[in-house]
């Protein structure tokens, strides 16, 4: 069985971060490992305001040592890491373990936070993690910040940002248009250093999309672990996430999550015989 590690933040509501990654890995039939770099909490008494609490780099290192104690990982992904020390620690272990398939979801802010990560953390992503990425999956805002191009408004802007991020070292860049792109389609731009691939699907009008970005990068990671090509992994991940969004679930009065089991109709499993 293929082994896949996520280094990311924990979302106790189960929709994003480590929780989304492990659910996605399970749906893909790979064995998931997890190292928690930060904990994201939401306060219902203050309108669901978010707070990100980073783990210490020493604790992240201990978790990674535990995760890597066995056979090599077949693939790895990173999500929100909390601070520059954790970013550097993750990059150090990826290099030491010579992980071959690395997906970097360069999370600069999570939904509901007022501020992006500190500028030093953005610089650390550029310096330490993006050069190790086989695939980087920034959303529209993240791509604008990492590329230095600011507000991206169309496919031409997304292409320009993808080129800039590729120059930072990522072997393949997927700029996700998401709901912020003014288009009736859900558009992603893929750049591998030689050519662009534009992926389009029907845009799903819903607010139940919490965790879509984490799920997308986790699905790419699992696809790579199972032997799919980079583009095959990205295309399947897009279909997987579309199904998850289409069957999104209202979790509480503040948020709705994607349903990670939608693609495989997981809700029908283990049902008692009628």
- Written as tens digits, the pLDDT of the chain (274 aa) is 999 999 999 999 999 999 999 999 999 999 999 999 999 998 999 888 888 899 999 999 999 999 999 999 999 999 999 999 999 999 999 999 999 999 999 998 655 444 455 678 899 999 999 999 999 999 999 999 999 999 999 999 999 999 999 999 999 999 999 888 888 899 999 999 999 999 999 899 998 999 999 999 999 999 999 999 999 999 999 999 999 999 999 999 998 999 999 999 999 999 886 5
pLDDT at 117: 55
Q: Which of 90, 26, 27 is nearest to 55 (CA)?
A: 90
**Collapsed DSSP state (helix, strand, coil) of residue 3:** strand
Question: How many whole angstroms separate alpha carbon 255 and alpha carbon 24?
Answer: 20
Q: Which of 241, 180, 189, 186 is nearest to 213 (CA)?
A: 241
pLDDT at 112: 46
Q: Taking the model in full, what pTM does it have? A: 0.95
pLDDT at 108: 84
């Amino acid at each position: 069985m293929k082994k896949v590690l996520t280094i990311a933040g924990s979302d106790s509501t189960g929709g994003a971060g480590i929780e989304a990654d492990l659910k996605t890995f399970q749906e893909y039939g790979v064995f998931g490992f997890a190292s928690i770099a930060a904990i994201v909490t939401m306060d219902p008494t203050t309108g669901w305001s978010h707070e990100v609490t980073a783990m210490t780099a020493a604790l992240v290192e201990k978790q990674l040592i535990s995760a890597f104690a066995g056979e090599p990982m077949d693939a790895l992904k990173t999500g929100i890491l909390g601070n520059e020390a954790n970013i550097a620690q993750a990059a150090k272990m990826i290099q030491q373990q010579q992980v071959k398939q690395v997906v970097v979801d360069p999370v600069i802010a999570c939904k509901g936070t007022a501020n992006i990560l500190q500028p030093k953390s953005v610089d650390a992503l550029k310096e330490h993690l993006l050069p190790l990425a086989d695939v980087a999956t920034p959303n529209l805002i993240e791509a604008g910040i990492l590329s230095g191009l600011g507000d991206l408004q169309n496919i031409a802007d997304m292409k320009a940002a993808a080129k800039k991020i590729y120059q930072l070292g990522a072997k393949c860049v997927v700029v996700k248009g998401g709901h912020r792109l003014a288009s009736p389609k859900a558009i992603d731009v893929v750049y591998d250093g030689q050519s662009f691939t534009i992926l389009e699907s029907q845009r799903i009008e819903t607010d139940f999309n919490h965790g879509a970005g984490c799920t997308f990068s986790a699905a790419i990671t699992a696809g790579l672990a199972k032997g799919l090509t980079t583009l095959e992994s990205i295309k399947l991940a897009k279909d997987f996430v579309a199904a998850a969004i289409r069957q999104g679930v209202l979790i509480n009065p503040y948020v709705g999550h994607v349903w990670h089991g939608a693609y495989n109709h997981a809700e029908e499993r283990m049902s008692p015989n009628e």
